[in-house]
Amino acid sequence: MPQADFEVIEPQWPAGHGVRSLCSTRAGGVSQPPWDRLNLGDHVGDDPAAVAANRQAYVRRLGVRPVFLRQVHGADCVQLRADTPDGTQADACYTRERGLACTIMVADCLPVLFADLRGGLVAAAHAGWRGLLGQHGQGVLESVMRVMDPAHTVAWLGPCIGPQAFEVGPEVLRAYTAHDAQCAARFTACASGKWLADLAGLTRDRLQALGLDPQRVHGNDGSPGWCTVTQASRFFSHRRDRVSGRLAASVWLA
């Protein structure tokens, strides 16, 4: 099975010496439509041999081992160790060990990478609207920040469904504003009676509420180039295609 070179996004963020990160796109890889081409998800119906080849290529590009979680749109955060297996159930992870990449797979949800500027600690989170919201104001970002010091943390937001494409029902607006009325500013009314939600904006607001300086949050600013739905040649999107591959974003200690 031939292996094509593939494009990656190299995050532009001041993560500090010894921290490395990248985010895949759909370009390259060997998966056939509708998972074409660099699908890294083994749970979406793709040929297992193609997924294995794509993951091997991704590992070679990283130079370390990515741990692929079983993400369930929850808020659990696990510590990665050398013996942590792929398929561990969680929606966030952190590690102090070298040779392991905290890795999040997405196809519309938002991957969030974290680094401690003092070195020695990195983390990653899967921020869909459910995991971001959590219960009683405690979601996946709160779980990560229990192990990170906001005074010394930087974050990078990867591609996700954009505010021009993320249509949600009024129950989602109610769920967010029940915890924080100011969240309403991140929703725009549609003629259909539904709302357009700004997932990256909601995440930035939540990170700021958790003590992160907004100047230390980098990456996705909600502009069209980051949108997984509208940038079809570059990104997978479950909302757009229903049957879709998965991107991955990773951060590790080099």
Dihedral over alpha carbons 204, 218, 23, 27 (to 10 degrees): 100
d(CA 222, CA 199): 8
What own/partner pairs with CB < 8 Å and gap ≥ 24 does 45-51 have?
Answer: 45/243, 46/245, 49/1, 50/1
Q: What is the mean pLDDT of residues 35-58?
A: 96
Distances (CA, A) of 197 to 10, 73, 185, 186, 208: 26, 17, 9, 6, 18
Tell me the H-state helices in 65-189: 129-133, 140-145, 170-179
Output the pLDDT for position 5. Answer: 62
3-23 residue pLDDT tens: 456 789 999 999 998 999 999
Distances (CA, A) of 226 to 43, 102, 137, 172, 194: 24, 21, 26, 22, 22
Mean pLDDT of the chain: 95
64-99 residue pLDDT tens: 999 999 999 999 999 999 999 999 999 999 999 999
How far is residue 13 CA from its own chain's centroid? 15
Please list, in sequence order, all residues whose beta carbon lies within 8 angstroms of the beta carbon of residue 18, skipping any fewer than 6 positions away.
119, 253, 254
Confidence (pTM) = 0.96
Q: What is the mean pLDDT of residues 232-244?
A: 97
CB 15 within 8 A of CB 21: yes
Q: How would CATH label the architecture of 8-161+217-253? A: 4-Layer Sandwich (3.60)
**Beta-bridge partners for 252:** 20, 101
Q: How many CB atoms lie within 10 A of CB 11?
A: 21
Nearest to 248 by CA among 80, 126, 141, 133: 126
**Beta-bridge partners for 155:** 114, 217
Per-domain residue ranges of the chain: 8-161+217-253
